[in-house]
A and B are shown apart, each in its own frame.
Chain A
Amino acid sequence: MAETALLDAADKALINRLQEGFPISSHPFAESGRELGLSEDDLLNRLKRLQENGLMTRFGPLYHAERLGGGLSLCAMAVPEDRFNEITELVNSYPEVAHNYERDHLLNMWFVLATEAPQRIAEVVQEITQRSGITVRNMPKIEEFFVGLKFTL
């Protein structure tokens, strides 16, 4: 990885630490810096560089979709190889499709639906099923188990 080769030990330490959380206080970077043994300016400059290098999406929140009132689900389809391009185009044409991955299984196309209104999930599932002639398997989460969600360098 060319990008990660540019990271020094302090960069890695701050990425590891700041994935776990960030102070909500008047001078949060100064506070984090003290913990990491970095000055406020040094920490700010490192974060700006990580953002410029594209290693960090943003510095801020991940929201809980359902608690904001939206719909969210994981869907899967078994797409014949010779129809893959056509079905990809159809599925991706829906703005509600957040991401779409090929996976190695009979159910080989997996996508996440994120909708403004929860009831829109079922409509999109039905529409794609009808337009493609392939049943969309809708697998909304029943329960979410706590994870650290952290990539340790």
Chain B
Amino acid sequence: MVLAAAVPPRLEAMDAQLLEAVQGGLPICSRPYAAVAQVLGITEEEVIRRIANLQQSGIIKRWGVVVRHHELGFTANAMVVWDIPDTQVQTLGAQMGAFPCVTLCYRRPRRLPEWPYNLFCMIHGKERHHVLQSIATIIATLGLDAVDYKVLFSGRRFKQRGAHYQLTPVAENRAPAATASTPLHAVVTHG
């Protein structure tokens, strides 16, 4: 099986420091990038340039308000899983991701015999019946009436820890001495 991100990343040491410095959020002040720059001992322009580059390369997926959806009232949370023929999963995955109610959409491996589902999407709503209505809309719009699917609402939440990234450039012997970039150790979660 080929995973999407098989290539180990190489980041400049200053990028790693920057990612670590802003992971908990930007200071909420008039010139937040200047404030970060001061901590790192670089210029505001450099912070702006590096963050823009990290966003463009996809290492920073999103940049803005990260809400607590549960506290905002989105308490009905369903993982909807579908058994889609392999030849159609890419097209349908992209179409499903385009629905505003879908907050995550992944293709994952089946685990037969008990788990035939290969497309997973998360749907959040304020009430369970809204979520079920959204699912009905997806089925009708994409013509999925014949597709086997399951709706797994979440029950008890046993653990949810906040995001924490520990970005430490790893030992020199693993990085070619001739380059200024280093692979990173990352401890990552998403909430």
- Chain B residues positioned under 8 Å from A110 (CB to CB): 79, 152
Contact A145 B63 (CB under 8 A): no
Interface status of A133 (Cβ within 8 A of chain B): no
In the bound complex, CA of A64 to CA of B2 (Å) = 18
CB contact list, B1-41 vs A, under 8 A: 1-5, 8-9, 11, 19, 22-26, 28-34
- B52, B66, B68, B72: the one within 8 Å of A153 (CB): B72
Contacts known (A68-B188, A101-B154); A111 close to B159, Cβ less than 8 A: yes
CB contact list, B65-80 vs A, under 8 A: 65-69, 71-74, 79
Contact B189 A98 (CB under 8 A): yes
In the bound complex, CA of A51 to CA of B65 (Å) = 10
Contact B25 A88 (CB under 8 A): no
Which residue of chain B is the closest to A108 with respect to CB atoms? B155
Interface status of B83 (Cβ within 8 A of chain A): no
Most B-side CB within 10 Å, residue of A57, A115, A145 = A145
Interface status of A27 (Cβ within 8 A of chain B): yes
Chain A: number of interface residues, binned into ranges: 35 or more
Give the distance to chain A from B81, nearest Cβ to Cβ, in Å.
9
Which residue of chain B is the closest to A60 with respect to CB atoms? B25
Interface status of A83 (Cβ within 8 A of chain B): no
Contact B48 A74 (CB under 8 A): no
In the bound complex, CA of A57 to CA of B98 (Å) = 25
Give the distance to chain B from A3, nearest Cβ to Cβ, in Å.
6
Contacts known (A101-B157, A143-B90); A64 close to B59, Cβ less than 8 A: yes
Contacts known (A65-B186, A72-B188, A139-B111); A56 close to B157, Cβ less than 8 A: no
Contact B188 A44 (CB under 8 A): no
Contact A57 B72 (CB under 8 A): no
Contact B31 A26 (CB under 8 A): yes
Contact B72 A143 (CB under 8 A): no
Interface status of A42 (Cβ within 8 A of chain B): no
Most B-side CB within 10 Å, residue of A20, A25, A26 = A26
9 contacts between A and B (CB under 8 A): A4-B72, A24-B48, A30-B30, A61-B19, A65-B190, A66-B4, A99-B160, A114-B188, A149-B103
Binding site for A on B (CB under 8 A): 1-5, 8-9, 11, 19, 22-26, 28-34, 44, 48, 51-52, 55, 57-69, 71-74, 79, 90, 93-94, 96-98, 100, 102-109, 111, 114-115, 120, 124, 150, 152-163, 165-167, 183-191
